Amino acid sequence: MKIAFVGKGGSGKTTLTGLFALHATRNDQTVVAVDADINMNLPGALGVSVQHAQFIATPHNAARIYEYLRGSNNRIETTKKFVNTTPPGTGSNIWNIDSNASTPLDSMAVEFGGGRGKLMMVGSYETDHIASGCYHGQLGVLENVLSHTRTGVDSWLVADMVAGTDAFAGTLHAQFDAVFVVVEPTPEGVGVARHYRELAEAANVGRTVNIVGNKIEDGQDLRYLEKEIGVALLGTLPRLAGIKQHRQHGLSLADMQSTDIIALMQRIDARARDCAIAEDDRLGLLYNLHRARLEKPWVKNTYGDLSGQIDPDFSFARAS
């Protein structure tokens, strides 16, 4: 399953991504955790040192990744012809996270959870980016990785997304089986959560979106959220003093295992399995987005006609 935690800044995306990734590794599941935020907090939550970390969006690493993903797929003329929605085709390398094969992607990840987990980081905004680019451009390589990645029934790709609905709404929404919108019981949090739901409905992926209440202090908070969100919450997490204290002491979330946390993690696990989309159906979503993107004049002007990238003979079922 491929899942993402999204929501307003500070709502608890990183905390829930970390808790879920650690929960899954404890249950002998394979996990690729992706820190897709510009301010990388997931390594700390997972207890991972990033001293020797490699960011997938650096020009050098992105080039290695494109070379690998393209494989012998001649429908992608050169590695410079990858756009966010470029789909896999015959000859593409599909990154199977259950496989032990060593790939450039594995070499860029850092282990956690006793070796069952791998943390992948997109990148940060460096001083040399000032006045030259925006972070969201760096998410393109992540989208390509996601569309060329295969997970199994006991393996997870879990993304801690950057705050802001734009990255999700653009094209990333097509990549996940389930998306968990983390929301605090505040009008601002509720507004952002509603917006994610509206965008997902408009993009025909409404069924993938689930709302998780966080930092709930009392019955009043819960009633407020239930009333204002307007749909059933998947679950909630109380404001837990232990989470803040752990982080204040520079500790990971590895030993945070209260009954509240475990119950929520089990719900997230079950819902993600319920929402799982067949790989070839997800590919159909990606084709639609790719076609729409190709109509944009700037894409035509920059890349030429990329419609040949859609391979009618490709299916994930056949690629196995």
Ligand X SMILES: Nc1ncnc2c1ncn2[C@@H]1O[C@H](COP(=O)(O)OP(=O)(O)OP(=O)(O)O)[C@@H](O)[C@H]1O
Smallest separation (angstroms) from ligand X to the CB of 41: 5
Residue 244 contact partner, candidates Mg ion, ligand X, none, CB within 5 to 8 A by sort of partner? ligand X
How many Cβ atoms are within 10 Å of 273's Cβ, its own excluded? Answer: 12
Q: Which residues in this chain contact Mg ion in the complex, by CB under 5 A?
A: 13-14, 37, 41
Given the complex with ligand X, which of 121 and 283 has the nearer CB atom?
121
Smallest separation (angstroms) from Mg ion to the CB of 41: 5
Residue 85 contact partner, candidates Mg ion, ligand X, none, CB within 5 to 8 A by sort of partner? none
Given the complex with Mg ion, which of 45 and 203 has the nearer CB atom?
45
Given the complex with ligand X, which of 150 and 215 has the nearer CB atom?
215
Smallest separation (angstroms) from Mg ion to the CB of 123: 15
Type of residue at 72: S
**Which residues, 6 or more positions from 1, have their beta carbon under 8 angstroms from its beta carbon?**
151, 155, 156, 157, 177, 178, 272, 273, 275, 276
Given the complex with ligand X, which of 76 and 256 has the nearer CB atom?
256
Nearest residue to 6 via CA among 209, 149, 156: 209
Cβ(239)–Cβ(215) below 8 Å? yes
Choose which of 50, 63, 94, 163 interacts with ligand X (CB under 6 A).
Answer: 163
308 three-state secondary structure: helix
Cα angle: 46, vertex 214, 173; to 5 degrees: 75
23: contact with ligand X by CB under 6 A: no
Smallest separation (angstroms) from ligand X to the CB of 7: 6
Given the complex with ligand X, which of 38 and 53 has the nearer CB atom?
38
Strand order in the sheet with 155-160: 110-112, 117-121, 30-35, 155-160, 2-7, 178-183, 209-216, 235-238
Q: How distant, in Å, are the alpha carbons of 2, 7, 45, 93, 194 from that of 250?
A: 28, 24, 9, 38, 33
Choose which of 50, 63, 94, 240 interacts with ligand X (CB under 6 A).
Answer: 240
Binding site for ligand X (CB under 6 A): 7, 9-15, 37, 41, 163, 214-215, 237, 239-240, 243-244, 247
